[in-house]
Amino acid sequence: MEVIWAPWRMSYIKKAGDKGGGCFLCLEEGRRGPDRDRLVLYSDETVLVMLNLYPYTNGHLMVAPRRHVPSLAAASAAERTALIEWVARASRILSEVMAPSGFNMGINQGRVSGGSVEEHLHFHVTPRYLGDSNYMAVIGETRVISEHILSTYDRLAGRFND
């Protein structure tokens, strides 16, 4: 049997059943701008952009409304516009900095959408690279992330706040 050690996942596992910690997508009232500790690349009064702590590929990020809203239908027109605008900006910035071959983009809405966030609508912007679906993912059911997430953050943060 193969064993892959990932001790950094324990904090996620311990929090999985803990509803007392609040929503990781929600930021404190009045907080704006980047936050390296929370992997927030950009935030303003309407939207936030953050790296996914458990990415599928390098540069995988999320775009969410600042307000804790459960669905696209519940979001205001201004929130929907800002979300789409930032998904487009994020994909442009990722293209310039990380040079992916393409993207997967999708909306997570509700717990059954595949994420661990039940009531906070968010978009995923996942860069895709030629060869990122190699034997490791297909046969070994293992993803290889080739760059530390804080290195990725440091490469991207300035571009989101120009």
In a domain, 1, yes or no: no
Dump pLDDT digits (tens) for 95-107: 999 999 999 999 9
In a domain, 6, yes or no: no
Nearest partner of 64 among 112, 108, 103, 128, judged by Cα: 108
Residue written as tokens 């516009």? Answer: 81
In a domain, 25, yes or no: no
CATH of the domain at 66: 3.30.428.10
Phi/psi zone of residue 13: left (φ > 0), alpha (ψ -120 to 50 degrees), beta? Answer: alpha
In a domain, 132, yes or no: yes
Query: Which stretch of DSSP H or E encloses residue 65?
Result: strand 61-65
In a domain, 26, yes or no: no
In a domain, 23, yes or no: no
The answer to whether the beta carbons of residues 63 and 125 sit under 8 Å apart is: yes
**Structural domain for 71, as ranges:** 33-160
Dump pLDDT digits (tens) for 18-32: 545 578 777 777 778
> Which segments of the chain have a pLDDT < 50?
17, 19, 135-136, 138-139
> Known catalytic residue: 122?
yes
Q: Over the chain, what is the mean pLDDT?
A: 82
Domain tally, the chain = 1
In a domain, 20, yes or no: no
pTM of the model: 0.79
Contacts of residue 70, Cβ cutoff 8 Å, sequence gap at least 6? 109, 110, 118, 119, 120, 121
Q: What are the structure tokens assigned to 98, written together?
A: 């990380």
From 60, 122, 124, 148, the catalytic residue: 122
